[in-house]
Amino acid sequence: MQKISVTIITLNEESNIRACLESVKWADEILVSDSGSIDRTVEICKEYGAKVFSDTWFGFGRQKNLIAGKAKNNWVLNIDADERVTPDLRVEIEMALSKDGYEGYYIPRKNFFGEKWIRHCGWYPDYNLRLYRKDKGSFNERSVHEAVRIDGNLGYLKNPLEHYTYRDVSDYLKRMDRYSTLAAEEMFKNGGNTSLLNLVFRPCFTFFKMFVLQKGFLEGYSGIILSGLYSTYTFSKYAKLREMSKRQ
């Protein structure tokens, strides 16, 4: 099997990082780009023998490329601090790297809201390109919603990453302010549309898509809550985009 480097970016992830590192301690090396944690994140990473770098924050895409560039191996597995590589996924990754023919692999994610695995609302299988050859691809350098772009053939793995997204509604709302600002800035940079129609109808469509088209109603109250939260996020980013445009 070809050797693999795991890359993680962190900021005050004390509550998540130990379980994350425990799930990837089998990797040939673990690299962490930390952007100023004031909790025990760095200390815990060093317990696991991770190479920890203190880096200025440049945005999600650029940050992930920065730490991948420090990896000694060509194959990179990028995960977030709130994600876990299951034993079955580890075996599948090792099998994939023992073969030739692909430059990257999409990995499904098993997303949790609190302790509940959400199967609908567009949350599963939620394929993400996370395992890739760094000489063939890299993340696009967006402030948020970054993704790997590969020049080559891509495969799909079957076993999912476990992703513990939000602890509860309060956790979502705290992070929503930051992510909606980043999304609005990205749209503003790209000349995003600030029309009243976007502000009114896009949040409504987000709820309809998640709750009806993506069968969120099958999740019961969790489906209603998630569809409502994501529609609120959509409204927030378009409202912020409108403010940015007016200030300009």
pLDDT digits (tens, 9 = 90+) for 178-228: 999 999 999 999 998 888 889 999 999 999 999 999 999 999 999 999 999
Average pLDDT rounded to a whole number, residues 162-167: 96
Residue 112 confidence (pLDDT) above 80 = yes
Percent with pLDDT over 90 in the chain: 92
Domain 4-165 has CATH 3.30.450.40: no
Please give the pLDDT value at position 207.
98
Please give the pLDDT value at position 216.
98
Is residue 28 within 8 Å of 4, Cβ to Cβ?
A: yes
pLDDT band at 100 (very low <50, low <70, confident <90, very high): confident
Q: How far is residue 203 from each of residues 57, 65, 134, 206, measured CA to CA in Å?
A: 30, 32, 37, 5
Confidence (pTM): 0.93
Sequence ranges of the chain with CATH classification 3.90.550.10: 4-165
State the sign of the Cα–Cα–Cα–Cα dihedral 58, 50, 11, 170: positive
pLDDT band at 145 (very low <50, low <70, confident <90, very high): confident
Residue 72's contacts (CB-CB under 8 Å, 6 or more residues apart) are 5, 29
Residue 105 confidence (pLDDT) above 80 = yes
Q: Which of 120-129, 135-144, 184-193 has the highest mean pLDDT?
A: 120-129
Q: How far is residue 240 from each of residues 69, 89, 127, 220, 247, measured CA to CA in Å?
A: 34, 39, 29, 31, 11
pLDDT, tens digit (0-9, with 9 covering 90-100), for 3-13: 999 999 999 99
Average pLDDT rounded to a whole number, residues 18-22: 98
Average pLDDT rounded to a whole number, residues 150-167: 96
Average pLDDT rounded to a whole number, residues 80-107: 96
Residue 1 confidence (pLDDT) above 80 = no
